Amino acid sequence: MTLIRSARPHELPALFELPEDPERNAATRAYLGQLLDSKCTRPEWCLVAEDGAGQVTGSVVLWTVPGQDVPYAFVLFEAPADQDATGAALLDAAVTRARALGADELEHVVDSPAQEPQFQQDPERRAELLRRSGFRVIRDGRRFRLRVPGELPADDPRLTFRSLAGLGPEPFIDLLEQLLAETADARLAADVQEYGARRAAEKIFELTASMRHEPQWWEIGYDADGSPAVISLPAENPSVPVIGFIGVAPAHRGKGYAASAVVRGTRILAANGAEEIRGDCDAANTAMAKAFTRAGYENFADRLEFHRSL
């Protein structure tokens, strides 16, 4: 019989470990320790599966952005390869705990190939477990990274950048609303359909603002005709600096401005100490994928983003 329970203090931050994989164990232990320290999770949000012999056989950890008290995702989901019932029970417990904490949705990402900090082996099996538990794919994504070189490309001379510090939030939300009207990103398109373009724009702004950033980092790039052309929202999540959001106004697409915005965000993060920077985009958003590549980033992984309404 499998019991799903909260992790005990002495089990944190190790949780579920694999005796044959000390590298994986050290990385996941460090990752969970970081999440606990940054308040992305709490001890009572860390759930484990225990078998009849009292051995921990799986885990799942609810997650949120720092400063928030309601989880909206989970990480470190592990279950025995030959025990799908344990995996299903962990997912059910995560949903129940998240709902009790006030969540109305829950998300999870599956990266391939497996890598730090979660080492998600067998992504096909994981995806099937999620689907059986009521989760659906909301984005087939591509992940990019850049190990910051000694010299970065120059800014695009066609663009004049002005920051949030001087503009305030309204021009940013206005431009986000405009560009969301025509987006190749499945997740953003779904948000527009559910909330409307204005509210979807506000949600992007609010979610990205929950990551660490300075007002002068966030910028709108203006074309020579004075119209807003591109938005750049670089930030730092608890693990790594990121190109939080890039978008180009419909009237200015096809000019290479997305790559210019990636370069601009990269330069800002590098000037503030970043050594590695990451960014994601929808596989269908080929223009954004090309922008990352042109800015020197490599596509190091694929990412399926799952969602379930609670």
pLDDT of residue 65: 87
Sheet holding 56-63, edge to edge: 3-6, 46-50, 56-63, 73-78, 105-112, 298-309, 136-147, 276-282, 241-248, 228-236, 219-222, 160-163
Which residues, in sequence order, are CB contacts of 95 under 8 Å at separation 6+? 106, 133, 134, 308, 310
pLDDT of residue 147: 96
Q: Does domain 160-301 have CATH number 3.30.590.10?
A: no
Which candidate, 31, 57, 42, 43, places its Cα nearest to that of 7?
Answer: 43
**CA-to-CA dists, residue 197 to 178, 182, 194, 202, angstroms:** 8, 10, 9, 9
Note the helical H segments in 43-163: 84-100, 123-132
pLDDT of residue 235: 97
Which residues, in sequence order, are CB contacts of 184 under 8 Å at separation 6+? 282, 284, 285, 286, 287, 288
pLDDT of residue 39: 92
Question: Which mean pLDDT values do the consecutive 10-residue runs of the chain (310 residues) have?
Answer: 92 91 92 94 97 91 92 94 90 97 96 91 93 96 95 95 98 97 91 94 94 96 97 93 96 96 97 96 95 96 96
pLDDT of residue 218: 98
pLDDT of residue 150: 87
pLDDT of residue 44: 97
Query: Could you give the angle at the alpha carbon of 250 between the alpha carbons of 143 and 184, nearest 5°?
Result: 35
3-134 and 160-301: identical CATH topology: yes
Query: What is d(CA 44, CA 56) in angstroms, rounded to the nearest whole number?
Result: 16
Q: How far apart are the first and last CA of the chain?
A: 27
pLDDT of residue 67: 82
Sequence ranges of the domains in the chain: 3-134, 160-301
Is 215 in a helix, a strand, or coil?
helix
pLDDT of residue 201: 97
Distance of CA 244 to the CA centre of its chain: 9
Could you write out the DSSP letters of every residue in 232-265?
EEEEE-SSSEEEEEEEE-GGGTTSSHHHHHHHHH
Distance of CA 131 to the CA centre of its chain: 20
- Give the CATH architecture of domain 3-134: 3-Layer(aba) Sandwich (3.40)
The single residue listed with the structure tokens 């330069």 is: 267
Please, are residues 85 and 93 in contact by the beta-carbon 8 Å criterion? no
Total-model pTM: 0.90
